[in-house]
Amino acid sequence: MSNKLFLLPGDGIGPEIMDEVKKIIEWMNANLDAISFEIDEGKVGGSAYDAHGAAISEEDMEKAMTADAVLFGAVGGPKWADVPYEVRPEAGLLRLRKDLGLFANLRPALCYPALADASSLKKELVEGLDILIVRELTGGVYFGEPKEITDLPDGQKRAVDTQLYTTSEIERITRVAFDLAKTRSNRVSSAEKHNVMKSGVLWKEVVTRIGAEEYKNTPLEHVLADNCAMQLVRNPKQYDVIVCDNLFGDILSDVAAMLTGSLGMLPSASLGAPDAASGKRKALYEPVHGSAPDIAGTGAANPIAMVASFGMALRYSFGLIKEAEMVDAAISNVLDKGLRTRDIATEGANVVTTSEMGDAIIAELKALA
């Protein structure tokens, strides 16, 4: 097994939560036969700027390009508020997404039983919830040209963003969604707005064709994106995999995520195209949250989003399904035992630090192995 993990902890709480993942990797290397990860580490974001004057060095970009998976912490913070735009911390993440060709963003919304009470929805609506939003990440209105603000003769300004998709861009994200659905409950819902958008018409057409030609045994439904937002809040369990464009995916994935928990609990994966020779996809795994400068250095950071992101790497980059399930079960078990970092703590909870949470997850892994 090819087994190179490249770690980019980044700024703020990034290094703190990555330390917990490092402990888990070391434990797995020593104790699980299927696992022997080689880990290397680089700098990204403000910490890379401080060291090299760039949001990521060329050397670290090269390491990211040749790794089997990149684990990314978080970047940014007030310290770098005034650095030049091209080398701002976020530029590191954008460069990685672009050069690795990460066009598919996977955002699970999974309800851990112990936290079902914490949802803003009624417990019965979210208990057992397990949906996956597959968001197109490199096209659409965030990138389409023209994209500009111009002056009009009457003194007004005119702003344009362009929602732009090609057939092949829609085809490849559709295949990712269907392939994932086959490993889950085998249902795909495609969200767009073909009623008012040409890109929606093409989206629906292409998804329908790929579904019919290549995935006959996987049921497909189409849903208007605004209705999808309503349905997610009304009855989220009707969905398994939802595939959508960059803009709708940005919003729908945030809606879905918040049904189940706090920012500190949410992992994500971003995948590229399969390599022609090896079939392996470039991939980057990161928590959804940022660098949380308000709590950095206090031991209050919740490492679960980062640990669960590593779990996604085990599943999607290395095919280590049993080990990925162990990570998910370990997280679920520590929550069942009442352990909480401050962000998910309720009255009377057993509040633990970042590293205590990491240690507790390892103790559960030991019990499960």
Active site (annotated) includes residue 226: yes
Taking CB under 6 A as the criterion, the residue among 47, 302, 309, 333 binding ligand NAI is: 302
Q: Given the residues 193, 239, 245, 343, select the one marked as catalytic.
A: 193
Q: Which two tokens stand for residue 82?
A: 């005034």
To which residue do tokens 């559709």 refer? 174
- Binders of ligand NAI in range 17-56 (CB under 6 A): none
The item of ligand NAI, Mg ion, none sharing an interface with residue 301, based on CB under 5 to 8 Å by kind, is ligand NAI
Please list, in sequence order, all residues whose beta carbon lies within 8 angstroms of the beta carbon of residue 72, skipping any fewer than 6 positions away.
8, 10, 44, 93, 96, 284, 285, 286
How far apart are CB 203 and ligand NAI at their closest, in Å?
A: 26
- Binders of Mg ion in range 245-264 (CB under 5 A): 250, 254
Whether 290 contacts 268, CB under 8 Å:
no
343 binds ligand NAI (CB under 6 A): yes
Whose Cβ is closer to ligand NAI: residue 77's or residue 261's?
A: 77
Omega of the bond leading into 146 within 30 degrees of 0 (cis) = yes
264 binds ligand NAI (CB under 6 A): yes
Active site (annotated) includes residue 282: no
Count Cβ atoms within 10 A of the Cβ of residue 353 and give its class: 0-12 exposed, 13-18 middle, 19 or more buried: middle
Q: CA-based angle 207:211:215, to the nearest 5? A: 150
Active site (annotated) includes residue 250: yes
How far apart are CB 123 and ligand NAI at their closest, in Å?
A: 23
Q: CA-based angle 240:244:248, to the nearest 5? A: 115
The response to whether 158 counts as a known ligand-binding position is no
Active site (annotated) includes residue 239: no
The response to whether 97 counts as a known ligand-binding position is yes
CA–CA distances in Å: residue 250 to residues 19, 138, 295: 28, 12, 25
- Specify the long-range contacts of residues 172-177, CB closer than 8 Å, at least 24 apart: 172/103, 172/104, 172/273, 173/103, 173/104, 173/134, 173/136, 173/243, 174/206, 174/207, 174/210, 174/211, 174/243, 175/210, 175/214, 176/104, 176/134, 176/243, 176/271, 177/134, 177/241, 177/243
Count of residues in contact with ligand NAI, rule CB under 6 A? 21
77 binds ligand NAI (CB under 6 A): yes
Active site (annotated) includes residue 336: no
The response to whether 302 counts as a known ligand-binding position is yes
How far apart are CB 233 and ligand NAI at their closest, in Å?
A: 21
Contact region for ligand NAI (CB under 6 A) — 31-39, 131-139, 163-171, 290-298? 290-298
How far apart are CB 198 and ligand NAI at their closest, in Å?
A: 31
The item of Mg ion, ligand NAI, none sharing an interface with residue 93, based on CB under 5 to 8 Å by kind, is ligand NAI
Binding residues for NAD(+), as ranges, are: 77-90, 290-302
Binding residues, as ranges, are: 77-90, 97, 107, 135, 226, 250, 254, 290-302
Which residue ranges make up the site for Mg ion (CB under 5 A)? 250, 254
So which residues are the catalytic ones?
A: 142, 193, 226, 250, 254
Which residue ranges make up the site for ligand NAI (CB under 6 A)? 13, 74-77, 93, 263-264, 286, 289-295, 301-302, 305, 341, 343
